[in-house]
Amino acid sequence: MLTADDIDKLVDFFATKQELKDMEHRLIAGLVSKKEFRALRDIIETGFGSSKVKEDEDLIHRQEHEDLSGRLTNIESIPTIAHELKTTRN
């Protein structure tokens, strides 16, 4: 459960909508450099546990599923001879 202290920390950490709009206008006007903007983005991502890391993990996980699916398709495409053996013994 969030305490009042936790909420105060979150309020201090995150920019308000107005602050973000002001930053966007300053960025457009050339008052905020791309380097400063990226630094802010990195700070935010660090606060969220890095969404980039999560995206990378999801990509690796999807790739593993695709690899396994391809391997399963290859295995299933190999004809079995059990049916042929059964019919030749009769």
Tens-place pLDDT, residues 20-61: 778 777 777 766 677 777 777 777 767 666 566 677 778 888
Which pLDDT value is given to residue 33? Answer: 72
Residues 30 and 59 in one domain: no
Task: Look up residue 13 and give its amino acid.
Answer: F
- When pLDDT is cut at 50, 70 and 90, the band that residue 78 belongs to is confident
Which pLDDT value is given to residue 40? Answer: 76
Q: Is the pLDDT of residue 90 over 60?
A: no
Residues 61 and 38 in one domain: no
Residue 60 structural domain:
51-90
- The tokens for 26 are 């300053």
pTM of the model: 0.34
Residues 2 and 42 in one domain: yes
Residues 42 and 56 in one domain: no
Q: Which is nearest to 32 in space by CA: 43, 16, 21?
A: 21
Region 69-73 average pLDDT:
87
Q: How far apart are CA 89 and CA 59, in angstroms?
A: 50
What is the count of structural domains for the chain? Answer: 2
Residues 30 and 8 in one domain: yes
Give residues with Cβ within 8 angstroms of 47, minimum separation 6: 13, 14
